[in-house]
Amino acid sequence: MDRGQRSPFTRRMRLLNGRDFERVFQQPQRSSGKALTVLARPSGESAARLGLAISRKQIKRAVDRNRVKRLIRESFRHHQDLLAGLDVVVIGRHGLLEKDSPRVFACLESHWEKVSARCRAARAD
């Protein structure tokens, strides 16, 4: 995809304040792995929104944290249709730094599918 054609990660796609994060942390649909935990909750809006919780305790160097955040945002943008209507928080864990970019993308794709399906099933109930 050409850099000029990519959709940007706009302000509307972000969880912006603590209240938004708290809402996701209360009764979320969860998908966990060794490197990432993904929490999601229906938002009542049409677009998906992303929040990142990648702590310095888990990934020491800022350059590594920023790389991981870029990868997560890129994967999120590619899966906007799948995640429509959800607020999502991605929590990094210790094993994340050992994974290369393709493995992180594959891991995230699996998590996106799981939380999306679980949120759809919860709505149906």
- The string of DSSP letters for 87-110 reads EEEEEE-GGGGGS-HHHHHHHHHH
Mean pLDDT of 56-85: 93
Compute the distance between CA of residue 49 and CA of residue 20 in angstroms, rounded to an integer.
10
Q: Are 76 and 116 in contact (CB under 8 A)?
A: no
Mean pLDDT of 89-98: 90
pLDDT band, residue 1 (cuts 50/70/90): very low
Using one digit for the tens of pLDDT, what is the confidence trace for 4-61? 456 677 788 899 899 999 999 998 999 999 999 999 999 888 889 999 999 999 899 9
Domain ranges of the chain: 12-124
Strand order in the sheet with 49-53: 29-32, 36-42, 86-92, 49-53
Helices 62-78/101-124 angle, 10° precision: 50
CATH of domain 12-124: 3.30.230.10
